[in-house]
Amino acid sequence: MGSAPWTAMELERPWRAHYPAGVPGQLNYPEAPVYWLLEQAAARTPERPALRFFGHQWQYRELLELARRFSDALRRRGLQRGERVGVLLPNSPEYLPSLFGIWMAGGVAVPLNPLMVAEEIAGLLGTTQCRFLVGMDLLLPLVPLNGPEAPEGLIVTRIDNYLPWWDRQLYRMARIHRLGLGASLPPRAVEWETFVSEGSSDTPAEKVSGEDLANILPTGGTTGHPKAVMLTHKNLLSNAWQLFHWTGQRVGQDVVLGCLPFFHSYGLMCCGLSAVAMSATIVLHHRFRADKVLRLIEQEQPSIIPAVPAMLAAFNKELRRRKYNIRGVQSVISGGAALPLPVAEEFSRHTGATVVEGYGLSEASPVTHAGPLDGTARPGTIGLPLPDTDALIVDAETGTRLLPPGQVGELIIRGPQVMRGYWNNPEATAAALRDGWLFTGDLATCDTDGFFRIVDRKKDLIITSGVNVYPGDVEAVLRRFDQVEDVAVFGVPDPDRGELVAAVVVPRPGVTFNRRAFDAFAREHLEVHKRPRKVEVSHAPLPRSAVGKVLRRLLREKFSGTESEQPADTSPASAAGASGTASASTRTTPTVSSAPPS
């Protein structure tokens, strides 16, 4: 496709006139790798607490030293510049020093979701050719130990020593259940503390450029073919720098709740990298449960809470039940799904905080838009493009015609945070990146002041508890069940999680469909968020368009408002006892992170 006629035009950028005071439209970015953020924070606020986790604390100078030791240990064991290291961890104290250490060694991190099943983990390790893997002990059953997907070395963490007494006992019981009584580490595995002790904090970091890869972030695809986003040092540093300026360039003043999972781009950027850019204290938590996290907020008094709407809805429900002293919260930035106005207003009443909505996608590191934090945010919008971020609405059919304010079209984005492309997938890269713009696949509008609003998704993406689920990925797995002839997966509204995964199954001719066997298959092959919570069996063909595409819209409309048919799942949850074992009809607490029992 040739260049679109609007690519050379000068953009008006009306949004800049509505930026909060002190937020510039253009920034000067450090010419540095992303690990510079940690070096800078340790240099200017060395004694400030960087991480807090269950009463344990690490200062910025300690965090930098751990990252440097981890980096040197990786290089002593042979890691070469550009080689990949998998990270299979919940939010825990080892996550950030491991990540920064990988980057300091010149490596590329591959964050992995602990809620994945073993075959998904093996596939991603093989696709990205990870040479090493950092993983929590309870997650080791997910990691291939032999064959081409097996990493050369395993660095193993455990968090039981950080936990309160009762949680520690639950963790150790789970460890016995998953690893066996008195189980030793697998061959080529080493404890994280032992590994770090092998490295020196005096070895200089590897010199990498801004264009070098930093993260390969696995994501899904609506066609059933998984993709992995390639993010450079420049991408990540730029997005952290944009958010640092958007939040007022406050240094050493904020406490950030780190409950969103770091293996997701939203959690990593908004709870991790941008917090380091601010020299903020990050209060880590590994598993979301509304009452426990509210007690943590009461204890730590975070000033900034990055959240998803399902979290805020769960908070509101708990806050109606009992009072918590959480008036120290100043700003809440919600992303991952559309934020219902009543949810935002209620949480703001409970806390006095400014609650705004933002927008992003993994392909943009991820944040591109955010509501102003000065009280001028407009409810129902995703706010304004960040500094140096351009956004346009073009026609959804061809992507070549610029639409005027108020008209619905596809949102496209350009900025320093936009990815290099998809790992080993030039076709998908060419479809997403055109003429220097990222085509998001989301339908949106823009008003005359530059405030954007998401209208619908061009793709059939499902967002449940802030986690993206791609129907084609789920369908590809469910079709492997021997009783299934055809299947369609889609999202239906849910007040607690935004959407639930629903499926219509067409059984094979002459076969009696066994729902319990179907659910067991899903538990074995799909992570918690991808499992269908509402299932209907149809003996008629699925509705399809003239070109054979399943008309999910018709199925979605039929399912809206129906009751869940999912029986209770009493099996151990995947990913170290993560929540998600109850049925959709009984479980109302959203899962936003993987976790050991707590």
Residues linked to residue 444 through DSSP beta bridges, in sequence order: 409, 454
User: Which stretch of 239-248, 375-384, 422-431, 485-494 has the lowest confidence by average pLDDT?
Assistant: 485-494
User: Omega of the bond prior to 114 within 30 degrees of 0, cis?
Assistant: no
User: Dihedrals φ, ψ of 244, to 5°?
Assistant: -60, -45
Structure-token match 């399912």, residue found: 559
Residue 586 has pLDDT above 90, yes or no: no
Residue in the structure block whose two tokens are 């039940």: 321
Q: What is the pLDDT of residue 545?
A: 54
Q: Would you call 129 helix, strand, or coil by DSSP?
A: coil
Grade residue 205 by pLDDT with cuts at 50, 70 and 90: very high
Considering only CA atoms, which of 534, 471, 479, 536 is closest in space to residue 505? 536
Question: pLDDT value at position 295?
Answer: 97
For residue 395 the two structure tokens come to 């026609």
Q: Which of 213, 174, 182, 181 is nearest to 85 (CA)?
A: 213
Token reading at 128: 């990205």
Q: Which residue in 480, 482, 481, 502 sits closest to 491, CA to CA?
A: 502
Which distant-in-sequence residues (6+ apart) come within 8 Å of 148 by Cβ?
126
Side-chain half-sphere of 598: how many Cα atoms within 13 Å?
22
* Distance (Å) of CA 578 to CA 179, 278, 394, 407: 16, 31, 41, 42
Q: Residue 535: beta bridge partners?
A: 503
Whether 109 and 214 have beta carbons less than 8 Å apart is answered as: yes
- Does the pLDDT at position 549 exceed 80? no
Q: Which two tokens stand for residue 60?
A: 């910025």
The reported pLDDT for the residue numbered 67 is 98
Q: Angle at CA 163, nearest 5°, toward 159 and 167?
A: 105
Rounded mean pLDDT, 371-384: 96
Amino acid at 90: P
pTM for the full predicted model: 0.85
Contact 281, 296 (CB under 8 A): no
What's the rounded Cα separation, in Å, for the pair 570 and 55? 32
Which residues have C-beta within 8 Å of that of residue 523, sequence separation ≥ 6?
531, 569, 571, 574
Burial (CB count <10 Å: 0-12, 13-18, 19+), residue 8? exposed
Spell out a b/e string for 194-215, using b for 16 or more CB atoms within 10 Å of the CB, else e: ebbeebeeebebbebebebbbb
Q: Please compute the mean of the pLDDT values over residues 531-558 and round it to a whole number.
A: 80
Rounded to an integer, what distance in angstroms lies between the CA atom of residue 349 and that of residue 404?
36
Q: Which residues pair with 284 in a beta bridge?
A: 258
Q: How far apart, in Å, are the Cα atoms of 134 and each of 110, 154, 403?
A: 10, 6, 47
3 state DSSP class of 473:
helix
CB–CB of 372/345 below 8 Å? Answer: no
Average the pLDDT over each of 59-63, 205-209, 460-464 and give the range with the smallest value: 460-464
For 285-334, write each residue's pLDDT tens digit.
998 999 999 999 999 999 999 999 889 999 999 999 999 999 999 999 99
Rounded to the nearest integer, the mean pLDDT of the chain is 88
Domains of the chain: 14-446 (3.40.50.12780), 462-567 (3.30.300.30)
β-pairing, 213-219 with 227-232?
Answer: antiparallel
Supply 129's token pair.
Answer: 């050719």
What pLDDT does 286 receive?
92
Q: Supply the pLDDT for residue 1.
A: 46
**Mean pLDDT score, 42-67:** 98
> Helix 36-44 vs helix 233-246: angle between axes, to the nearest 10 degrees?
40
Q: How confident is the model at residue 461 (pLDDT cuts 50, 70, 90)?
A: confident
